[in-house]
Amino acid sequence: MWKRSDGNPARLLVTALVLVGVMAIGVGAANAGKSDPKPSGPAASDPAAGLVGNETCATCHESEGKSMEHSLHGKAQDSRTPSAKAGGSCESCHGPGQKHVDSGNKADIRRFNAISAREANETCLSCHNKNAHEQWQGSMHDARNVSCVSCHSAHSYKSEKAQLKTVTVVQTCETCHKQEAMKAQRSGHMPVREGKMECTTCHSPHGSTNVRMLKAGNTINEACTTCHAEKRGPYLWEHAAVTENCASCHDPHGSNNDRMLVAKTPMLCQRCHVSSGHPPTVYDGQQLANASNRMLGRSCVNCHAQIHGSNSPAGNRFIR
């Protein structure tokens, strides 16, 4: 412990001043290597890179700025979102805005409604390039020059799910796939319009290595049996039409026939079975008028109940 040598007030004052000076020098030296902190985050600007920050963009584009704050892109706490990147969310997608601010010219900023689908997709794929989006390049939609902004919107979205331009996934798909959408309104249909399924339940809109952009399997049968496992087989007695393609008999989007068949039975069956196994009778309106027992109820499958396949030793006719 420090102890003074005498009680001289002048000497005590000098000693105190020397101690204060030493402490001040130490603090200054500690801070000498530190620079002033620079602003960072979504609203940060960087003149060297031509970035002006979100606040500058919002002075003119107020509605777009507000919509971005409440969107999936605007969640700054997620390091993967544009809001968490340098320059903030606006310039992450639209590019540096300094030139646009100085000139006021729309051509000096990236506008997604004025650029090609390929260029718009490249911007989106700079972030969305994994998982469900990794197979976009070369997909059926990409080959047909479909743009990401054809379905999605960063600002004017109606569904928070994937920021779609429509309220539901089905509404988005049916803007192009009208024929399939109309089939879903028929009496026999997939439970899409009841909301139990979506188009994306079976299809992957961003690309797939499977046929018809299906999520599961490399054949239509493999996709169908993910739900209809009891029809998967293998069977002791196989029905060739079933083995080849479920869509040979069923329309997967909808039909006005029982069980979503592409045609009424027995007309459907006689597309292949003209006269085999039975007298060579053509089932038509005249047979219906005559109350033919092969035209009523479930027709052929009244007897051939195991039409998808049979495991019975006596099931070669799919009767059991």
How buried is 110 (Cβ within 10 angstroms: 0-12 exposed, 13-18 middle, 19+ buried)? Answer: middle
Rounded to the nearest 5 degrees, what angle is found at the Cα of 75, between the Cα atoms of 74 and 81?
A: 80
pLDDT of the residue at 19 = 58
Widest CA span of the chain, in angstroms? 136
The answer to whether position 151 is within a domain reads yes
| Whole-angstrom Cα Rg for the chain | 35
Low-confidence ranges of the chain (pLDDT < 70): 1-45, 48, 86-88, 275-277, 279-280
Q: Is the peptide bond before 266 cis (omega within 30 degrees of 0)?
A: yes
Looking at the fold, whether 104 and 81 belong to one and the same domain comes out as: yes
Instruction: Report pLDDT digits (tens) over 45-71.
Output: 677 678 888 889 999 999 998 888 888
pLDDT at 40: 45
H or E segment to which residue 254 belongs: strand 254-255
pLDDT in tens, 106-134: 999 999 989 999 999 999 999 899 888 99
Tokens of 33: 């290597």
E strand or H helix that includes residue 66: helix 62-69
Give the whole-angstrom CA distance, residue 251 versus residue 259: 9
Gap between the Cα atoms of 45 and 101, Å rounded: 13
Same domain, 164 and 198: yes
Distance CA(173)–CA(162), nearest Å, equals: 14
Tell me if 21 is assigned to some domain: no
Ramachandran sector of residue 232 (left: φ over 0; alpha: ψ -120 to 50; beta: rest): alpha
**9 preceded by a cis bond (ω within 30 of 0):** no
| Token pair recorded at residue 38 | 């620079």
pLDDT at 223: 94
Q: Are residues 151 and 100 in the same domain?
A: no
User: For residue 53, what pLDDT is reported?
Assistant: 86
Q: What is residue 244's predicted lDDT score, i.e. its pLDDT?
A: 92
Indicate whether 239 and 304 sit together in one domain.
yes
At 290 the pLDDT is 79
Q: Which of 188, 215, 242 is the last residue of a domain?
A: 215
- Residues 128, 103 share a domain: no
Which tokens sit at 111? 């506008």
103 and 132 co-located in one domain = no
Residue where a domain terminates, one of 153, 184, 215: 215
In terms of residue numbers, what domain contains 281?
A: 233-310
Do 135 and 196 fall into the same domain?
A: yes
Residues 178 and 202 occupy one common structural domain:
yes
The b-or-e profile of 71-97 (16+ CB within 10 A means b, else e) is: bbbbbbeeeebbbbbebbbbbbbbbbb
Extract the tokens encoding 77: 């706490």
pLDDT for residue 1? 41
- The identity of residue 5, as a single letter, is S
Q: Tell me, yes or no, whether 280 lies in a domain.
A: yes
Give yes or no: residues 247 and 195 share one domain: no
Q: Is residue 13 part of a domain?
A: no
